[in-house]
Structure 1
Amino acid sequence: MKTVALLLAAGAARRMGRLKQLLPWQGRPMLQHALDHLLDSRVDSVVLVLGCEGERVLQNLSLPAGDRVRVVHNPDWRTGMASSLVCGLQAAPDAEAVLVALGDLPAIPPGVVDLLIEEAAQGGYTVVAPVYEGRRGHPVLFGRTHFDQLRALEGDSGGAGILRAHPGQVRLVPVDSSGILHDVDRPGDLFRLAGREDLPLVMLRGGGDLASGVAHRLFVSGFPVLILELPQPRMVRRTVSFAEAVYRGQVRIEGVSARRVEEPLACPGEIPVLVDPEAETLEELEPGVLVDARMLKANRGTCRGQAPVVVGLGPGFQAGQDVDFVVETQRGHDLGRVLLEGMARPDTGIPGILGGEGTRRVVRAPQAGLFRSEREIGELVRQGDRLGRVGSLPVLSSLDGLLRGLLHDGLEVRSGEKIADVDPRGDQVDVHTLSDKSRAVGGGVLEAVMRGLFGHKAFADGVGRSVLE
C-alpha cells in the first residue's frame, strides 16, 4: 500500500506571534524535526505543503536528494488547514493512503508512523489514528476511500469530522509517545516538550545563588525551568549562579547546564536564561508556576493570579494574599519552611554566621563607582589583601579565608553595596557546589510547587503558618 505523508506547514501561526515552522528546537527548526521523523519512517514519500513565507521556510530546511520529498505551495493558505490538505492530495495522485501530519508536532517518533502503516496494511479499517492514555492525537492515516471527503473539507477542518462520521471504520492504535498530543501553538508549548508533560513550566525571576538552588532542584525533579534576569546580574556567588550565563553564555552547576537565550524558547536538557527584568514574557508563556527569587526584601510587582501557583522567597511577601506560598530563607530552624499564610522573618541586614563570622565576611564597596576585580573566586586570601578597587579606592579582605564570592568585573556599584564574600572556613569550602542554604530553600520551593499543583488544601493546625506567630 503506497502511503504518502502530507506534512501541512502553511499557516501564519497567529497565536505564536512568529513563524513557528522555523522555531529552533534541539538545534534545528521545528519543522525540520517533523519532516525528518517522517523520512525515517516507512512512508513512501512526503508532500510538504508550505504557504506563509514559504520561500523563507524552504531556505532554512534541509531536504534529501532525490524525489522522496515534494514541496508544494498553497496559495490559499489564509483560508485554513483544509486548503493545505487539498493541495497536498493533488500532489499525491497515485497514493493509496495519505498520512495527514502537522508541522507543529515535532516530537512524534518514526515508530508511531510505522505502527499506523502496519495497522492499515492489515485491512479492515480505512482510518487509523494513534491514542496515548486514551487521548487521540496525530498523525492520522486515511485510505483512498476517504479522499473525496478530504477534498470537500473547508476552513480549518482537518478530518476529525470524517472520524466522527465513520466510527466503525476507525482503528485507534495505542502508542507510548505523548508527542502525538503536543502541538506547538504558543512559546510555552516548547517548554512542555522539554520536560514531563504533567509538569508545567516554572518561571523563576532571579538567577542568583539561592535562586539557582531552587532552579536546580526543580529541574532535576523534571520541571521545565526558565530563569529571567537583569541585563547585568549583580550576584556575588557567581560560580553557583545560573545568572552567570548572561555574561558567559553557558554555565554548568552540579551537572545542570544553563544557557543564555535571546528569545523565550526552551533548551532541551538545559535551563534557558533570558534577560527580561520586567517579566514581559509572563503573559506570553503562561507558566504554571511563578517563583520570585530576586531576594529584594520587598515585593516588587509579584501577585497571585500571575500563574496558577505563585511562590515568594524570603521577606516582603504575604502568603495567602499577594502570593500563594512563602519560603523562609533566614538561616535557623525554619530555613526552607513553606508558609501558607503570613510572612517570612524580616531581613536583619546581618549576614548569617559561617565559621564564627557574620558581618566581617561580607566585603562592601567603599564608595560609589566602577568596580574592577583583581582576584578570582576560590582563591585563599588574608586580611588586608586587595580584592579589587572601586575607582581609586582599594577593596580589601576583612579576614583570612576563601574568596567565596566576587562581583562581576566592570560593574558600577553603590557605596556600601556587597562586593565580595570571604569564608573563614577556608579551603574546606567548595565554591562550585550549591550551599546547604540554597538546597534547603530549593527543597521548600519544590514542596510549595507540589502542594500548589497536586497537594491537599487542608493541613493540620499550625502547619504552614507564619514563623512570626
Structure 2
Amino acid sequence: MTVLYDETHGTPPLPTFSAVVLAAGLSSRMEGRHKLLLPVDGEPAVRRVVHAVLGAQPQEVVVVTGFNAHAVFDALDGLPVEFQPNPRYRDGQMTSVAAGVAALRAACDVVMICLADQVLLESRDYRELIDAYAAMPRGSILVPRFEGQRGNPVLFAASYAPEVVNGHVNPGCRKLIAEHADEVFVYDAASDRFTVDMDTPDDYARVVARVEGRSGSGGERATPRLHREAG
C-alpha cells in the first residue's frame, strides 16, 4: 500500500478504508432468536454495529445479508449502506466475505471485515485499527488481539480483494496467517471489545449488562502494541 505524505503537515494521511459487515448468519446458537435483531440499548444489534462502523468514516459500507434478510434490511432502514445478498450463506462465513468484497465499488487502501454481532465496538475502536494499520512498519494484514485471544475486525490491503473474491484467500482464517506470516501483524489492543461477540443467550445477557453499565467497561490494558504474527 502506498500512502502519500502531506507536504503541509509532514505526516502521511491515514489510509482510506471500506467496510464489509457480515450479517448473513443463521444465529444457530441463539435458541431460536435472530441475534442481529435483538435490542441493545433501544435499537437492533445490527443497527448499533452499523452506526458505529459508519461513524469511523469509511469510503463505503456493504452489508451482506442471508438468513432473514428482509428483517435485517428493515433494521437498517435509512442508513447509507449498500446491501449484498449472499445466496450461499449456509455454506459458511467465507462465502459472505467474498460476496461483500466483490460488491465494493469505491476506491480504498484497506478493507475491513466487520462482524454484525460485535455490539460493544465503538467508532473510535474501528478508527483505532486504521491508526494501527497505518503504523505498521510493513505488512498488509492486521488482526486485533486482547490478552492472547484473537479478535475482529480483520483488515487487509485492498490489493488482496481479487484473491478473496475468488475464494483463494480467507482473511480471517489461521491458515492465511501461517501462509502469509511476513504480511500479518497482530495488534494487541487495550480493550476486550475486539474479542466480544454475541452468539448465545448468555453472551447477549452479558453484552446488554455492559452496555447498560451494570458490569463496568470490561477488560482494559494501558498500551496497545503491534506484533508480527509468528508463522
TM-score band, normalised by shorter chain:
0.7 to 0.9
Structure 1 segments unaligned to the other structure (5+ residues): 197-266, 272-469
2:91 pairs with 75, 79, 86, which one?
Answer: 79
- Looking at secondary structure, tell me which structure has more helix per residue: 2
Distance 1:161 1:151 in 2: 17
Confirm or deny that 1:51 pairs with 2:66.
yes
Pairs within 5 Å for 1:96-245: 96-122=109-135, 124-153=138-167, 158-195=172-209
Give the conservation status (yes or no) of the 8 Å contact 1:98–1:143. yes
Distance 1:137 1:165 in 2: 19
Query: Which residue in the other structure is 2:78 paired with?
Result: 63
Q: 1:184 deviation in Å?
A: 0.8
Q: 1:8 deviation in Å?
A: 0.4
Query: Which residue in the other structure is 1:89 paired with?
Result: 101
Q: 1:45 deviation in Å?
A: 1.6
Give the conservation status (yes or no) of the 8 Å contact 1:153–1:159. no
Distance 1:183 1:120 in 2: 22
Pairs within 5 Å for 1:369-380: none
- Looking at secondary structure, tell me which structure has more strand per residue: 1
Secondary structure at the aligned position of 2:48 is classed as helix
Give the conservation status (yes or no) of the 8 Å contact 1:125–1:171. yes
Structure 1 residues 164 and 34, CA gap change in structure 2 (3 angstroms):
farther
Query: Which residue in the other structure is 1:352 paired with?
Result: none
Deviations 1:129-169 (A, max 9, x none): 22222322000101124223322438x98444322321221
Distance 2:179 2:193 in 1: 26
Give the conservation status (yes or no) of the 8 Å contact 1:85–1:158. no
Q: 1:43 deviation in Å?
A: 2.1
Q: Which amino acid aligns with 1:140?
A: V
Distance 1:122 1:136 in 2: 19
Structure 2 segments unaligned to the other structure (5+ residues): 1-14, 216-231
> 4+ runs of 1 displaced by more than 6 Å?
none
Question: Identity of paired residues, percent?
Answer: 28
Q: Which amino acid aligns with 2:82?
A: R
Deviations 1:191-227 (A, max 9, x none): 222457xxxxxxxxxxxxxxxxxxxxxxxxxxxxxxx
Confirm or deny that 1:268 pairs with 2:227.
no
Deviations 1:290-347 (A, max 9, x none): xxxxxxxxxxxxxxxxxxxxxxxxxxxxxxxxxxxxxxxxxxxxxxxxxxxxxxxxxx
2:42 pairs with 10, 15, 27, which one?
Answer: 27
- TM-score when normalising by structure 1: 0.39
Distance 2:55 2:66 in 1: 24
Q: 1:25 deviation in Å?
A: 1.1
Pairs within 5 Å for 1:341-380: none
Query: Which residue in the other structure is 1:231 paired with?
Result: none
Q: Which has the higher contact order (CA 8 A, sep 6+)?
A: 2
Confirm or deny that 1:42 pairs with 2:57.
yes
Structure 1 residues 122 and 177, CA gap change in structure 2 (3 angstroms):
closer
Secondary structure at the aligned position of 1:12 is classed as coil
Distance 1:76 1:188 in 2: 28
Q: How many residues align structurally? A: 197
Give the conservation status (yes or no) of the 8 Å contact 1:149–1:162. no
Across the aligned residues of Structure 1 and Structure 2, the Cα RMSD in angstroms comes to 2.4
Structure 1 residues 145 and 164, CA gap change in structure 2 (3 angstroms):
farther
Distance 1:23 1:9 in 2: 13
Query: Which residue in the other structure is 2:7 paired with?
Result: none
Q: 1:121 deviation in Å?
A: 2.8
Secondary structure at the aligned position of 1:105 is classed as coil
Name the larger-Rg structure: 1
Pairs within 5 Å for 1:385-424: none
Query: Which residue in the other structure is 1:452 paired with?
Result: none
Give the conservation status (yes or no) of the 8 Å contact 1:6–1:100. yes
Confirm or deny that 1:18 pairs with 2:33.
yes
Pairs within 5 Å for 1:301-340: none
Q: Which amino acid aligns with 1:133?
A: E
